[in-house]
Amino acid sequence: MARRRRIRPIAHEDRLSIVEHLDELRSRIIICILAFVVAWGITGWQNDLVLRIVNKPLPSGIEPITLGPAEAFYTTLTNAAYVALILALPVILYQIYAFLLPAFSPAEKRVALPMLMLIPVLFIAGVLFCYFVVLTPALDFLLNFNADDFNTQVRARDYYSFITMLMLAMGLGFQIPVGVLAACKLGLTSAEKLRRNRRYAIVVIAVLASLLPTLDPLTLILEMVPLILLYELSIWLASVLGRPAPEVAERIASAEGS
């Protein structure tokens, strides 16, 4: 029974000692590591398929190059690890959530549970959007920029790191509706405030998009458009579903009246 409790969210009213909290954290870290190792084993086993998939966005005729006798081996393992991290991240995000869940009140937990279902869906949607929409035009622009002045070649290690960071960033960026809706349900903001602050949100999105691992304007626009649309979706969700839970609304009213 003790082991089963460690791998499931514990109740809000449970009182755990420091040792029990550390034991809970250790169990969740072990699950995260196991999820990554299993995913890495699969991607390492299917490394040829993984390489074909991640090389597909490259323009025709361009293949990644390696510059040392062992670089192809280490790059293959590293690339498999990058893809394994993307595959395991929904499990890792859930474990982080499950560890933090006991700090939520029952009202806040009712808010958080639907959010949990959206996290992996939106993350996968962000990764797929980056792969199918962003990567090909971005690479085409970057690799052909000043092509007459440079002998541009693609080093495998740099290429795989670039596209992995970009897909991870887009997957995390697609979590905007989750964060916004949770903030509304917890009384931290509202649909009206989101509408009033739309221009500031667009500026923040532009800054965040500029921090992603790419510098060309085409990719910047391709990254900004879905994030802006997700912000608009967040406003709609907040207006429909974002009313604070009764206990939260009562607590806010009491704080404002005092």
pTM assigned to the model: 0.71
**Cβ–Cβ < 8 Å for 8, 116:** no
Cα gap 241→182, rounded to integer Å:
10
Determine whether 78 is exposed, middle or buried from the number of CB atoms within 10 Å of its CB (0-12, 13-18, 19+). middle
- pLDDT, tens digit, for every residue of 48-83? 999 999 999 988 888 899 888 888 899 899 889 988
- If you search the block for the tokens 């990719």, which residue do you land on? 219
Residue 204's pLDDT band, with cuts at 50, 70 and 90, is confident
d(CA 168, CA 185): 27
Give the range of the structural domain holding residue 222, as residue numbers without chain letter: 2-257
Burial 49-62 (b: 16+ CB within 10 A, else e): ebbeebbebbeeee
Average pLDDT, the chain: 79
Mean pLDDT, to the nearest integer, of 214-229?
Answer: 77
Q: How many structural domains does the chain have?
A: 1
Pick the residue with more confidence: 82 or 218? 82
The three-class DSSP label of residue 155 is strand
pLDDT above 50 (res 2) = no
pLDDT of residue 108: 62
pLDDT at 20: 67
Mean pLDDT confidence for 204-216: 72
**Residues 5, 8, 12, 18, CA torsion sign:** positive
Rounded Cα distance between 123 and 169, Å, is 9
Between the CA of residue 243 and those of 99, 184, 193, what are the distances in Å? 26, 7, 13
Output the CA–CA distances (angstroms, integers) from residue 81 to 52, 140, 146, 204, 256, in the order listed. Answer: 15, 25, 33, 31, 50
